[in-house]
Amino acid sequence: MAIANQVQEDLKSAMRAGEKQRVGALRLVLSELQKAAKEGDGDELSVLRRERKRRVEAARAFREGGRDELAAGEEAEAELIAAYLPAELSDSELQAIVERAVADSGAGSPKEMGIAMKSAMAAVEGRAEGKRVSALVRTALGA
């Protein structure tokens, strides 16, 4: 089942249960997924990652501004979106993938980090944030 279909089914369930916050978050997610599909971007996972990242950044900004109640709402939405994403890789799994990608790409110095990152991100397939991958690639290349 496509992610958009699953979100739509979950939205119906949340509406029946009267979960107002969940309904609002699911409607927003479904809207973004439908908009991306209409624009020809069929990668639902990238849409979900982008929306989750927006919520995390908004929560951080609210916390810094002393608006904890708004931050909590954004964090709850980020968790809801994360439930539709594949599980994150553990540190050891990610380390093994990065080491293999660096070796396969032939990168040997920090100047070739772009080549190694391209290979590593393709191997990770969205199961880890770019910051984590970048830090491990930088370490593997001795930067």
What band does 68 get if pLDDT is binned at 50, 70 and 90?
very high
Greater confidence, 40 or 71? 71
- pLDDT > 90: what percent of the chain? 42
- Report yes or no on whether pTM surpasses 0.85: no
Distance of CA 62 to the CA centre of its chain: 20
Nearest alpha carbon to residue 122 among 101, 141, 136, 107 = 101
Q: What is the mean pLDDT of the chain?
A: 88
CA–CA separation, 120 vs 130, rounded Å?
A: 10
**CA of 120: how far to CAs of 17, 90, 135, 140, in Å?**
42, 15, 12, 12
User: Would you tell me the crossing angle of helices 3-17 and 44-64 to the nearest 10 degrees?
Assistant: 50
pLDDT, tens digit (0-9, with 9 covering 90-100), for 75-122: 999 999 989 988 888 888 888 988 888 888 887 788 888 888 888 888
- The confidence score (pLDDT) of residue 141 equals 82
Indicate the fold that domain 91-140 takes in CATH. Arc Repressor Mutant, subunit A (1.10.10)
What amino acid occupies position 53?
Answer: K
User: Mapping DSSP to helix (H, G, I), strand (E, B) and coil, where does residue 88 land?
Assistant: coil
Q: Which of 73, 86, 82, 85 is nearest to 24 (CA)?
A: 73
Residue 143, pLDDT above cutoff 70: no
Structural domain boundaries of the chain? 3-82, 91-140
DSSP 39: T
Instruction: Specify the pLDDT at position 107.
Output: 77
Query: Which CATH code fits 3-82?
Result: 1.10.1510.10
Name the phi and psi angles at 4, rounded to 5.
-60, -40
Question: Quick one: average pLDDT of 10-20?
Answer: 93
